[in-house]
A and B are shown apart, each in its own frame.
Chain A
């Protein structure tokens, strides 16, 4: 079974631009969560989508948005990029929308650098 895939793996953008990251979950998984990982703040939860609906949201500004398609693939968008948005963005999928009960499987991440 193929794992969680994320594209692109690396990205360099300049301040003010916008970026879209993509995540394909494991086949059959309907929940996709996004996390931001930085050396200073560690791993922070961005949002979770289940059956094309946002079920949970972390404490990030509205510049961060996402969506999920009917095939469970998910995209994350960051508009008006800031230097502080430089991070590793991780996507995780699970069988159902409840990390309380179900294991999350992580992708390798997209390394975003904002200059």
Chain B
């Protein structure tokens, strides 16, 4: 079945550091891929998405590229801010329309 594996957290970085959160997936078809972010006390918000191979999703300085050859969708940001502290979820949706989430990676940014 479909699955998503993302790096364990927590990840702690200093402000302005470069961020990478790894995400790999297993899917039988050609899924859409997503990154969601959950701030403390809130629900999830869609951060970015990519619907086909080689697509790059981007939003708020975050980027992720759909790599079919490595079945990966790593999240990157060039310079993180304290306000980026949150839990980040990688997810996929296949044509059965269910969304499968990774377990989440907690990110702490130190001022």
Contacts and interface: CB of A to CB of B under 8 A. Distances in A.
A106 B43 contact: yes
A47 B104 CA distance: 20
Interface in B84-111: 89, 93-104
A48 interface: yes
B89 A43 contact: yes
A17 B46 CA distance: 34
B46 A103 contact: yes
A99 B98 contact: yes
Contacts of A100: 31-32, 93-95, 97
B61 to A, nearest CB: 19
**Chain B binding surface, main DSSP class:** loop
Nearest to B91: A43
A35 B104 CA distance: 14
Given A56-B96, A99-B93, A100-B93, A43 B101 contact: yes
Nearest to B4: A42
B97 A56 contact: yes
Interface string B19-42: 000000000000110001000011
B99 A45 contact: yes
Interface residues of B, number: 24
A109 B31 CA distance: 26
Interface of A: 4, 33, 35, 42-45, 48, 55-56, 58, 90, 92, 97-101, 103-109
Contacts of B102: 42
Nearest to B103: A42
Contact of B43 (A56, A58, A109): A109
B82 interface: no
B49 interface: yes
B17 interface: no
Contacts of A92: 43-44
25 contacts: A42-B101, A42-B103, A43-B89, A55-B97, A56-B96, A90-B44, A92-B44, A97-B97, A98-B97, A99-B32, A99-B97, A99-B98, A99-B99, A100-B32, A100-B95, A101-B32, A101-B51, A103-B46, A103-B49, A105-B46, A106-B36, A108-B41, A108-B42, A108-B43, A109-B43
